[in-house]
């Protein structure tokens, strides 16, 4: 057995490698043999078939079935021939060797051979029959004019030959493989045995066993290695003996040193404490045990807490000592020597001063803390006695010194105080007099009865007197001569009596001339030592200008500066009071009208803001004429007004006033030489019992006003709960739409546009679709309008443009053009997106990024957008045309564009609106309109597309009118991009669409 793992692995690898090579060689030989035998069989089959065709030519041409049958039966005796079959030129079987019937697979091959064939054409292939696989050969007779000879060769013979050859080859390979394994095993064993002996000897040497020897005497490398290892083992034995003797000698010296050090430690006066890394006491000396009054050696082996803070120590024990040691252990190793003075605790609870010196060190991986402790009780006692004697001496000296200094200072202070008091009195009197005379506020002193006893010049000026003396003599009773309302004086005295002071007391005063002014007083009560009031003194300030400015600011804060009407804040305050009155009085009714002027922006932009401001003032005056004094008319800003109708008897009064307002605003008004017409859309809230806050009423009135604008402007609309629910629904829908645009959850679908003259799909119109996870499919008529109102239409349009450009690139690859030609895509562009400053540059960037042909991109815009933006729209269209983009007018015939304007527009295509196509049935007027649009478009050199084609009759009429391009449900609804890919993969997409229409596979999406 081979004990060497190295040679065992080598032997296993050789066995595996040889087995792999043997199997690969056998498989390759079988594969070569198979192909060669197959080729020979094919040659043999072809030769037999040709022999039959040539030798039996006469009887085959005469279709002599009996002779042919007798001849072909002889060929079955040939090795490998499975069947022989002869057919005439039409494929009819003349004779065959099958019993009882011809298999179906052979009949199918005979049917394939019927028809014209090439001269000398033959066929060779493999077929599967019930009796096994057969090599089938077909040879024509007289190039097929005389018929065909069909022969089948049994392939099982080939398989038998191959299996026999493979088995023999594997047998020989296995015998050779076994012999090779035995030889390799013997060879490996002869090599591995000396190596195993050498390994055993090395293990003994590693275990310090030098008694053995190696009996390897070969002259090869293994013999040399064995001799070298024996020599090295003898040297190691000698070296280890010397080392053991040296270790014994040094161990004795170390023991002597340890005993010497232990004697020193045991006899030092200071206590020694050694703590290991785990916080256990490793060693102490007798001095430490004496300091803490514990048994000798009792602390060793205990943790710091058990050794110094257990219950036998009393109180907190040596908590501070343990804390210092734990902190030193955390701070680390090799720290310098540190000393502390703390209080220790002896066993029994006695506290004493303790000096601790400690150092942390690490040696040979062992961390320790060494502490020297000294009892400082006697030293502390001596220091305290010395300090007490020193403090007593210092205290006696200080007391004597203070006594002498106090006597001297008292004499000096008495003299200085007299001088300071005299000077302070003079300065205070001068300062008070200066303040009193020069103050801008009026300063007064009056008795509780109302007589003025003192006043300064400022007070005289405020009350209209020339001098204070004149004021004192001229006013005998301030309640009568100064206060405009005597009750204010009474309130002043009552507050002074109650609190002893008044702060910011405002009242109206009468000047000497009779002029009324606003003043504010701040005063206090002055009483004697018995608490009796002597007089009132304080300040008086004229605040007339401040009061007037405050009133102006309040007016401006609650009124519109242009019209003078109340603003939103004041209106909401009145509305809040109306709501409160309605809650108190159930028979109290009110209504709110919310107005917005129609076409005011056009007037403002065309005639200027000055004319617009005059129009707003005119409207404000008309609104005042329509309401009563108790009603409130307010302007909220811009062209928005609100009216609060209070104390109305019935809701019809609000409707009557709304009609009156529309009637008055309907008359033209001359402003600055311009005759201006305007109207208003009005929202009305009548049922106010359910409201609590003014904002809710204004919200619903605003909702009703916008509903009136949606219905055609210049009308009023009364709010109902459905409007609020619709507003909430639209708000929620806008939120979901914004989220869908950000997450790119919308899809772009494509409706085919058909070229009727060429009978093929020539392009698509890109239409955006939104399928919400909870709301389902949201109609475009809802979210497109919402996107335009919320400003999301620009981001939505950019998304559609990017998707369309990407698909133009895919659908116009070379293999697609070969079937369908160039396919264009039409995109609907909103007015907001089209009038962006650099819309043409944005389109150009997408064309370059995707490297698409701009001739395949078409933009559809409406007539109303062209009319609204005029020359700016024409400039943008021209830039797009310069890029090569085609322009199309969508929904042609529904706007207001003139023919002359259409002639100047740089457009390529017009689209007939679906409403005209829908009236093509029996409506002669509708046919005339469509025929006129087609005639107009072709006369201007424009392409015309009819959209909304849903019936064959409509398509037939449009074809008779000469309309080439059609679009509608008749051909297909809008399809996802994936379905368009499938459609374009067909040879004839239009035929497929027609078949789908006949089967009604497409849903009716008319109007989307």
**Could you tell me what percent of the chain has a pLDDT over 70?**
92
Question: Cα separations (Å) of 799 from 155, 457, 470, 708, 794?
Answer: 64, 81, 88, 33, 9
User: Given a cut of 60, is residue 117 above it in pLDDT?
Assistant: no
3-state SS record for 595-631: EEEECHHHHHHHHCHHHHHHHHHHHHHHHHHHCCCCC
- pLDDT value at residue 765: 95
Report the pLDDT averaged over residues 373-397.
83
8 Å CB contact between 655 and 629: no
* Confidence at 818, pLDDT banded by 50, 70, 90: very low
* Confidence at 241, pLDDT banded by 50, 70, 90: confident
- pLDDT value at residue 320: 82
* Phi and psi angles of residue 337, each rounded to the nearest 5 degrees, phi first: -65, 130
User: Given a cut of 90, is residue 566 above it in pLDDT?
Assistant: yes
What are the CB-based long-range contacts (under 8 Å, 24+) for 240-244? 240/208
What are 96-116's pLDDT values in tens digits? 888 878 888 888 788 776 555
- pLDDT value at residue 624: 92
Burial profile 816-850: b = 16 or more Cβ within 10 angstroms, e = fewer? beeebeebbbbbbbbbebbeeeebbeebbebbeee
8 Å CB contact between 502 and 474: no
The pairing of beta strand 909-912 with beta strand 943-947: parallel
User: Same CATH topology for 268-378 and 439-546?
Assistant: yes
* Confidence at 1004, pLDDT banded by 50, 70, 90: very low
Report the pLDDT averaged over residues 263-283.
80
The pairing of beta strand 442-446 with beta strand 452-455: antiparallel
The pairing of beta strand 776-778 with beta strand 760-772: antiparallel
Distance, CA of 902 to CA of 264 (rounded, Å): 122
Distance, CA of 253 to CA of 983 (rounded, Å): 104
Question: Cα separations (Å) of 853 from 373, 536, 906?
Answer: 98, 97, 19
Distance, CA of 218 to CA of 223 (rounded, Å): 5
- List CB contacts of 954: < 8 A, sequence separation 6 or more: 917, 920, 921, 968, 970
Report the pLDDT averaged over residues 207-216.
71
* Confidence at 895, pLDDT banded by 50, 70, 90: low
**559-719: what CATH class?**
alpha beta
8 Å CB contact between 964 and 760: no
Q: Which two tokens stand for residue 698?
A: 């204004």
- List CB contacts of 986: < 8 A, sequence separation 6 or more: 992
Tell me the domain boundaries of the chain: 5-166, 208-247, 268-378, 439-546, 559-719, 732-995
Report the pLDDT averaged over residues 978-986.
87
CATH of domain 5-166: 3.30.450.20
- pLDDT value at residue 733: 76
Which residue blocks in 309-376 are alpha helix, DSSP H? Answer: 319-331
User: What's the chain's average pLDDT?
Assistant: 82
Report the pLDDT averaged over residues 415-443.
76
Lowest mean pLDDT of 17-31, 604-618, 765-779, 934-948, name the range.
17-31
8 Å CB contact between 166 and 149: no
Task: Check: pTM over 0.85? Answer yes or no.
Answer: no
Q: By CB neighbour count within 10 A (0-12 exposed, 13-18 middle, 19+ buried), where does 1002 fall?
A: middle
Edge-to-edge strands, sheet with 640-646: 632-637, 640-646, 590-598, 679-685, 716-718
- pLDDT value at residue 594: 94
User: Given a cut of 50, is residue 1006 above it in pLDDT?
Assistant: no
- pLDDT value at residue 567: 92
For residue 336, give the DSSP letter. P
* Confidence at 568, pLDDT banded by 50, 70, 90: very high
What are the CB-based long-range contacts (under 8 Å, 24+) for 530-534? 533/448
CATH of domain 732-995: 3.20.20.450
Distance, CA of 312 to CA of 295 (rounded, Å): 13
User: Given a cut of 60, is residue 118 above it in pLDDT?
Assistant: no
Report the pLDDT averaged over residues 674-701.
87
- List CB contacts of 784: < 8 A, sequence separation 6 or more: 768, 793
User: Given a cut of 60, is residue 397 above it in pLDDT?
Assistant: yes
User: Given a cut of 90, is residue 292 above it in pLDDT?
Assistant: no
- pLDDT value at residue 119: 40
User: Given a cut of 60, is residue 195 above it in pLDDT?
Assistant: yes
- pLDDT value at residue 1005: 34
User: Given a cut of 90, is residue 139 above it in pLDDT?
Assistant: no
User: Given a cut of 50, is residue 1003 above it in pLDDT?
Assistant: no
Report the pLDDT averaged over residues 629-643.
92
Distance, CA of 75 to CA of 886 (rounded, Å): 77
Fold annotation for 268-378: Beta-Lactamase (3.30.450)
Instruction: Looking at mean pLDDT, say which of 3-12, 68-77, 551-560, 727-736 comes out highest.
Output: 551-560
To 10 degrees, what angle do helices 651-665 and 609-626 make?
140
- pLDDT value at residue 401: 80
User: Given a cut of 50, is residue 919 above it in pLDDT?
Assistant: yes
Which CATH architecture group holds 439-546? Answer: 2-Layer Sandwich (3.30)
User: Given a cut of 90, is residue 617 above it in pLDDT?
Assistant: yes
What are the CB-based long-range contacts (under 8 Å, 24+) for 310-316? 312/347, 313/345, 313/346, 313/347, 313/348, 313/349, 314/345, 314/348, 314/349, 315/345, 315/349, 315/351, 316/345
């Amino acid at each position: 057995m081979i004990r060497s793992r190295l040679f065992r692995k080598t032997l296993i690898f050789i066995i595996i490698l040889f087995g792999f090579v043997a199997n690969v060689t056998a498989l390759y030989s079988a594969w070569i043999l198979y192909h060669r035998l197959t080729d020979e069989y094919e040659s043999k089959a072809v030769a037999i078939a040709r022999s039959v065709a040539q030798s039996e030519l006469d009887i085959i041409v005469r279709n002599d079935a009996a002779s042919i049958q007798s001849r072909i039966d002889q060929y079955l005796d040939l090795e490998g021939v499975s069947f022989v079959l002869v057919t005439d030129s039409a494929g009819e079987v003349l004779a065959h060797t099958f019993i009882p019937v011809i298999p179906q697979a052979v009949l199918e091959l005979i049917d394939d051979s019927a028809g014209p064939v090439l001269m000398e054409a033959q066929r060779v292939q493999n077929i599967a029959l019930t009796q096994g696989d057969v090599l089938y050969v077909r040879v024509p007779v007289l190039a097929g004019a005389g018929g065909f000879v069909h022969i089948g060769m049994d392939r099982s013979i080939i398989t038998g030959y191959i299996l026999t050859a493979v088995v023999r080859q594997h047998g020989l390979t296995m015998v050779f493989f076994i012999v090779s394994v035995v030889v390799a095993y013997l060879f490996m064993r002869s090599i591995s045995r000396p190596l195993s002996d050498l390994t055993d000897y090395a293990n003994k040497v590693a275990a310090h066993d030098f008694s053995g020897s190696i009996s390897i005497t070969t002259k090869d490398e293994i013999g040399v290695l064995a001799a070298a290892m024996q020599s090295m083992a003898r040297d190691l034995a000698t070296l280890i003996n010397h080392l053991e003797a040296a270790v014994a000698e040094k161990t004795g010296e170390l023991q002597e040193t340890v005993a010497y050090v232990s004697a020193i430690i045991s006899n030092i006066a200071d206590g020694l404490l050694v703590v290991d890394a785990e916080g256990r006491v490793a060693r102490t000396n007798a001095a430490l045990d004496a300091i803490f009054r514990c048994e000798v050696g009792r602390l060793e082996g205990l943790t710091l807490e058990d050794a110094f803070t257990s219950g036998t120590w009393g109180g907190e024990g040596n908590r501070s000592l343990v804390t210092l040691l734990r902190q030193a252990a955390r701070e680390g190793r090799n720290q310098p020597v540190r000393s502390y003075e703390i209080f220790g605790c002896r066993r029994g609870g006695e506290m004493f001063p303790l000096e601790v010196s400690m150092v942390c060190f690490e040696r040979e991986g062992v961390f320790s803390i060494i502490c020297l402790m000294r009892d400082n009780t006697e030293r502390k006692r001596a220091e305290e006695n010395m300090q007490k004697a020193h403090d007593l001496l210092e205290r006696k000296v200080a007391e004597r010194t203070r006594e002498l200094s106090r006597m001297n200072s008292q004499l000096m202070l008495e003299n200085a105080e007299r001088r300071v008091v005299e000077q302070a009195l003079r300065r205070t009197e001068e300062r008070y007099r200066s303040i009193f005379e020069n103050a801008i506020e009026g300063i007064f002193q009056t008795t509780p009865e109302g007589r003025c006893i003192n006043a300064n010049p400022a007070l005289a000026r405020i009350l209209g007197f020339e001098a204070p003396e004149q004021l004192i003599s001229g006013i005998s009773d301030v309640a009568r001569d100064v206060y405009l309302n005597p009750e204010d004086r009474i309130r002043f005295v009552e507050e002074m009596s109650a609190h002893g002071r008044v702060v910011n007391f405002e009242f109206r005063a009468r000047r000497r001339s009779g002029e009324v002014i606003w003043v504010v007083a701040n005063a206090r009560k002055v009483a004697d030592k018995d608490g009796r009031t002597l007089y009132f003194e304080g300040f008086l300030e004229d605040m007339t200008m401040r009061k007037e400015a405050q009133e102006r600011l309040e007016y401006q804060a609650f009124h519109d500066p242009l019209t003078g009407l109340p603003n939103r804040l004041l209106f909401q305050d009145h509305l809040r009071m109306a709501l409160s009155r309605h809650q108190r009085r159930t028979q109290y009714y009110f209504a709110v009208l919310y107005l917005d002027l129609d076409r005011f922006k056009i007037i403002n932009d065309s005639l200027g803001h000055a004319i617009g401001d005059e129009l707003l003032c005119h409207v404000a005056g008309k609104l005042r004429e329509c309401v009563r004094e108790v009603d409130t008319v307010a302007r909220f800003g811009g062209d928005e007004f609100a009216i609060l109708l209070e104390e109305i008897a019935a809701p019809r009064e609000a409707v009557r006033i709304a009609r009156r307002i529309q009637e008055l605003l309907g008359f033209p008004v001359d402003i600055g030489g311009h005759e201006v017409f305007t109207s208003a859309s009005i929202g009305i809230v009548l049922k106010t019992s359910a409201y609590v806050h003014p904002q809710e009423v204004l919200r619903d009135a605003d909702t009703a006003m916008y509903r009136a604008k949606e219905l055609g402007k210049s009308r009023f609309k009364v709010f109902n709960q459905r409007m609020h629910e619709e507003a909430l629904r639209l708000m929620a829908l806008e939120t979901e739409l914004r989220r869908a645009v950000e997450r790119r959850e919308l899809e772009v679908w494509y409706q085919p546009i058909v070229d009727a003259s060429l009978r093929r799909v020539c392009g698509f119109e890109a239409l955006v679709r939104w399928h919400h996870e909870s709301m389902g499919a949201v109609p475009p008529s809802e979210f497109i309008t919402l996107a335009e109102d919320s400003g999301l239409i620009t981001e939505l349009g950019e998304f559609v443009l990017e998707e369309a450009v990407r698909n133009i690139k895919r659908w116009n690859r070379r293999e697609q053009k070969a079937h369908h030609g160039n396919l264009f895509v039409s995109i609907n562009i909103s007015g907001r997106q089209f009038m962006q400053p650099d819309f043409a540059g944005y389109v150009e960037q997408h064309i370059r990024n995707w490297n698409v042909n701009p001739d395949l991109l078409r933009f559809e815009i409406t007539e109303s957008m062209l009319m609204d933006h005029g020359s700016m729209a024409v400039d943008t269209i021209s830039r797009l045309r310069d890029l090569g983009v085609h322009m199309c007018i969508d929904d042609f015939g529904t706007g207001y564009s003139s023919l002359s304007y259409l002639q100047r527009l740089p457009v390529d295509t017009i689209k007939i609106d679906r409403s005209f196509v829908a009236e093509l049935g029996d409506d002669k007027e509708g046919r005339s309109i469509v025929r006129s649009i087609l005639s107009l478009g072709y006369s201007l050199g424009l392409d015309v597309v009819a959209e909304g084609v849903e019936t064959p009759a409509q398509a037939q009429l449009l074809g008779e009118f000469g309309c080439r391009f059609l679009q509608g449900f008749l051909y297909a609804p809008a399809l996802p991009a994936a379905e368009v890919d499938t459609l374009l993969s067909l040879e004839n997409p239009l035929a497929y669409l027609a078949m789908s229409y006949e089967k009604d596979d497409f849903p009716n999406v008319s109007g989307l």
